[in-house]
Amino acid sequence: MGAQKKDPTKHGIKPEEQPPVVQVDRNLYLGPIHENNVGQLRRLNDIIFPIDYEDKFYNGIVSAPQDLVKFAHYKDLTVGAICCRLENKPEGKMLYIMTLGVLPKYRNMNIGTHMIKYMLDVAKNVYKCKGVYLHVWVPNTKAMDFYKKLDFTVGEICKDYYKNVSPPDAHIVEKLFGEDN
């Protein structure tokens, strides 16, 4: 029995159906995250976030639909990423933002805003979600301000959400889609 060939449809999307790179402006585009570049995501997350993500997280990323996991490339440098998943909740299908991060040097350039707006569009128009939500670490006031500017609402505090950081609590932040957004 010879070596097995990799199935190009492993992610459920044939190569010819993979979403194209999303050109945001002259200097910024969103590109796919897959098994050949997921190590780059791991390095970004190590720099950006105060928590370590396990292999299980990265394995889920490479098997996720390609329009839910994107790198942000600024002038051909990988400077950020957004990783999401779909969840069925009592109120309906929701998009959960697992991670959104931009390297410190590239913040305040609207890169995070462009990634969020892309995912809001995908959630509403491709997956017909009722809204988007995420957890934000309680001390992360900059992130809270960022999401509030994008009309997300801050909900309850989820006690002991995080492991290995203090405090371990997170705000639940969400944006529900209505007729006007």
Q: Which residues are annotated as catalytic?
A: 96, 135
Place of tokens 């990783």: 83
Question: 3-class SS at 136?
Answer: strand
Q: Single out the residue of 44, 18, 43, 47 nearest to residue 31, CA to CA.
A: 18
* Amino acid, single-letter form, for residue 28: L
Q: Is 38 left (phi over 0), alpha (psi -120 to 50) or beta?
A: alpha
Nearest residue to 148 (alpha-carbon basis) of 164, 158, 160, 136: 136
Strand arrangement of the beta sheet that strand 22-23 belongs to? 22-23, 28-32, 69-74, 77-89, 92-102, 131-137, 170-176, 153-158
Nearest 5 degrees, angle CA 74-CA 79-CA 81? 110
